Structure 1
Amino acid sequence: MQKNKFGFWSIVLLGINAIIGSGIFLLPNKAYALAGSFSLVVILFDALLAMSLALCFAEASGRFQRNGGPYIYARAAFGNFVGFEVGFMKAAISIIAWAAMANGFATALTAVVPAMKDPFYKDLVIIALMGSLGLINILGVQLSKVINNIVTVGKLLPLVIFIAIGIFYMNGANFTPLLPSGETAADFSFGAAALLIFYAFTGFEAIAEAAEDMDDPKRNIPRAIVVVMLLVSAFYFLIMTVSIGVLGPDLAETKTPIATAAAVFLGTGGGLLVTAGTLVSIGGINLASSFLTPRVIVAIADDHMLPPIFSRYNRFHTPYVAILFATLVGILIALSGSFTTLAAISVVSRFAQYVPTCLAILVLRRRDPEHPSTLPVPFGPVIPVIAVLVSLWLLVQADLHKILFGLGGLLIAVPFYFLMRKQYLQR
């Protein structure tokens, strides 16, 4: 079974696939509309926050070899209740995020195949996409690994071409003024821009969710997390730079920023290449979600906080019950058509995983100093504390509606915890 596990570079590609989705293809115009050329500074700010959080996840993952990611860390540091809360949120949001991305893929497909605008055909695409990905995962890790590697390279190729050629078509005048001026100056909000752009960085926490399907996870996962965040941050900054340099103020007016910019220096063919890359990218993040989401459910079930049926494996050594559950529930949510709402609250809900993980680092260091992580965060408690404080600041930049929807699952999880504790945990 060892040969079928994800090696280091396959983990890196899985991580990239879990982060780079539709966001980067649609992000630059919204970011520029909010912050102008200063959005480049905002991206650097978010990259530093994401890297700080990722370092905490890297240290935490270096202590464990089990599936579950944030759930495992929170449970080890704070006990069953907090662990269940984090795990419940992680599992729920993972399913919802996968559903939203499946819905997004069907929506993006309408740009290429107008007939897909018909709700009937759109629903068929969603069912076919999520159903086929669920089947691929049931059939084994090796098949998932091969397809993931191919899809990730396929989604990165158009972005590499866009950056490599686009830098020669940039106009330096498009970067001035740095801060928004005129009518847009009154709408400038660093916090709102940071919260918006941070959405594109979410997903790195998923890398450790399938630790048991990875080769030497205590060594490879922490290193992979750091490499993934460095690569993704560089991609985002360069993509935003080229987009501003090529389009200037027109960037705020287009709904397909990268495709529009590519068409300027690559012609119609370049626009079509990026459009194809968008579909591959959204399809790729669907693939990553379909693989990672069931592993969180399995981790909770392994600790007797969900019915044991979710821990069942088939002859391909895949958790087929958890995969079927995540796929079926995800399809139902995706067919609801609530993509906009689901996408809006997803970034808020992520902090229910980020903050506990950073705090868990401080607890686990003190509780078990004899067994340090394979990749400890440097500078003692400084980075985890700063990551928590900045995360809380960024969280309050969202409006109350998004906060309630994003974190409401914590309240919903409470009765489920006591029900599961009574039926399974105390046996």
Structure 2
Amino acid sequence: MTKGNDMTKKIGFTSIFLLGINGIIGSGIFLLPGKLYQDMAVSSLLVILFTSFMVLMIALCYAELASRYSEDGAAWLYVYKAFGKFSGFEVGLSIWFLSVTILAAETSAFLTTLQGVMPALKDPMIYNLVGIGILVLLFIANLFGTLIMKVLNNISSATKLAIIILFIVVGLFFVRPENLNIILPAGTHTFSTVFTDFAKALSVIFYAFIGFSFLPVAAAKMDNPKRNIPLALVTVILTSTVLYGLITFVCIGILGTSLSGETLPAAMAFKQIWGGFGYNIIIIGMLVSIGGLAISFAFDAPVIASSMAEKELLPSCFLKKNKYGAPYISSIVTFAFAIILVVSGDFMYLISLSVFISFLHNVPSILAMMKLRKKGGDTGFKVPLGYTVPILALVSSAYLLTGFTFQIVAVGLLILVIGAIIYWIQNKVKKRINAS
């Protein structure tokens, strides 16, 4: 009887799959086809396939690690088990900051989409004020626990899937074959330029898959995580690849060269079909979808910081909760950082920063998988072909690194330096407390 009750409290495979889909599909699927086309024209479809392959290689490493441990934590836990507390702390800090950066990026994406019907938001001052206002509202909602967040998240999930299906099914009838003739942009003819532009496009579209690494975070709350998480990771990535590929194909097929650099490609494509009515339908769907992902990370980011405090990786004040069970100190710090990011960088800057920060915990996780495999132990899932998959994941991650600007790399490395300083200070304080 007890076993049955425990099982009802666990998240089954279908729910894990839907959780993964909702955590991955956000602004990227609606806003990035224009930037991809600008960099690689019709070959942007190949970029999506390569990114999917790369993400799948990384996800398979996560899958083996997830099948080894049923505890919450994902990347932080895996690196901690393999390389110790300091490495685990740095990875945990990068995951928390990644969730804050995604919250800021999705807020920026919401504002960018809103500009399509409210041009006044193109004024930097108005943009920043509205962005701050949105984050303050999310902060207030977060203080009242999970109920509001769950309701809004469920609405956004259903709306997101409905808009995607509508866009693909209707849009495929309006694809013009002549719009698919430009394989590469003008001036992209040498191997060197293709290599560089492909990396730039890769560093953009990777953001559209970035949420996969958060799926194993709540492993302890899932039914049979050693089997279901690996299966869910693979199926979620393959499903997302199909959806991304079809949406990009439809955008190219309808808009052709006018897609290049388009800020709201999906909305503009539907405007070609149904005029202002079609444009507004997509805009509304995008706002609900992007807003839902922002809400999800507004809830998750403070929880990540709080969970790190439970492991004594952050100060104990991050554990403090109000009467609704919300970690209010974690929320204050999280939203303060998110506000700084929103007012200091646009959507494209924030997604590049997000992708680089994900690199900072994906690579250690891949290395952790390789080290832990050498130690042996029970795994419900083992990546085939020996170490071929993790090596491919590392090589493709190194290639991804070539697509970032110096500024993005500098900010990412600064986070690691700040983390090391925080870790050192905390250890000093603990030693003094123990000595007294």
2:298, 2:10 → 1: CA distance?
17
2:129, 2:9 → 1: CA distance?
32
Partner of 2:230: 222
Q: Give the Å deviation of 1:198.
A: 1.9
Q: Give the Å deviation of 1:25.
A: 1.6
SS at match of 2:68: coil
SS at match of 1:397: coil
> Relative to 1, partners in 2 of residues 1:230 and 1:410: Cα closer, same or farther, differing over 3 Å?
same
Q: Give the Å deviation of 1:201.
A: 1.9
Code of the aligned partner of 1:410? L
2:102, 2:247 → 1: CA distance?
24
Partner of 1:200: 208
The answer to whether the aligner puts 1:72 opposite 2:77 as a matched pair is yes
Structure 2 stretches lacking a partner, 5+ long: none
> Relative to 1, partners in 2 of residues 1:340 and 1:36: Cα closer, same or farther, differing over 3 Å?
closer
2:32, 2:348 → 1: CA distance?
15
1:202, 1:183 → 2: CA distance?
30
The aligned runs of 1:6-405 (5 Å cut-off) are: 6-116=11-121, 122-123=127-128, 125-141=130-146, 143-180=148-185, 182-185=186-189, 188=194, 189-212=197-220, 214=222, 217-252=225-260, 254-313=262-321, 318-336=326-344, 339-367=347-375, 369-372=376-379, 374-405=380-411
Question: Residue deviations 1:197-242, cap 9 Å, x none?
Answer: 2222212112223445555544443333222212111111111111
Deviates more, 1:402-411 or 1:205-214: 205-214
SS at match of 1:158: helix
2:372, 2:343 → 1: CA distance?
42
2:167, 2:371 → 1: CA distance?
44
SS at match of 1:289: helix
1:307, 1:231 → 2: CA distance?
40
Question: Residue deviations 1:247-269, cap 9 Å, x none?
Answer: 22222153321111112223322
SS at match of 2:260: helix
2:399, 2:95 → 1: CA distance?
21
Checking the alignment, whether the CA contact within 8 Å between 2:37 and 2:261 is kept in structure 1 is: no
2:317, 2:223 → 1: CA distance?
26
2:141, 2:111 → 1: CA distance?
19
Code of the aligned partner of 1:294? P
> Relative to 1, partners in 2 of residues 1:111 and 1:170: Cα closer, same or farther, differing over 3 Å?
closer
Deviates more, 1:51-60 or 1:132-141: 132-141
SS at match of 1:16: helix
Q: Give the Å deviation of 1:155.
A: 1.6
Checking the alignment, whether the CA contact within 8 Å between 2:366 and 2:390 is kept in structure 1 is: yes
> Relative to 1, partners in 2 of residues 1:125 and 1:47: Cα closer, same or farther, differing over 3 Å?
same
> Relative to 1, partners in 2 of residues 1:225 and 1:140: Cα closer, same or farther, differing over 3 Å?
farther
> Relative to 1, partners in 2 of residues 1:53 and 1:418: Cα closer, same or farther, differing over 3 Å?
same
Checking the alignment, whether the CA contact within 8 Å between 1:67 and 1:298 is kept in structure 2 is: no
Code of the aligned partner of 2:42? S
Q: Sequence identity of aligned pairs in percent? A: 38
Q: Give the length in aligned residue pairs.
A: 424
Code of the aligned partner of 1:261? A
Question: Residue deviations 1:239-295, cap 9 Å, x none?
Answer: 111112222222215332111111222332221111112212221220121122123
Correspondence for 2:418 among 398, 408, 412? 412
Q: Give the Å deviation of 1:15.
A: 2.5
Q: Please, what TM-score do these two structures have when normalized by structure 1?
A: 0.88
Q: Give the Å deviation of 1:317.
A: 5.1
Deviates more, 1:8-17 or 1:299-308: 8-17
Checking the alignment, whether the CA contact within 8 Å between 2:179 and 2:253 is kept in structure 1 is: yes
2:37, 2:291 → 1: CA distance?
26
1:414, 1:197 → 2: CA distance?
30
Checking the alignment, whether the CA contact within 8 Å between 2:100 and 2:338 is kept in structure 1 is: yes
Q: Give the Å deviation of 1:305.
A: 1.8
Tell me the C-alpha RMSD between the 2 structures: 2.8
> Relative to 1, partners in 2 of residues 1:339 and 1:236: Cα closer, same or farther, differing over 3 Å?
closer
Structure 1 stretches lacking a partner, 5+ long: none
Q: Please, what TM-score do these two structures have when normalized by structure 2?
A: 0.87
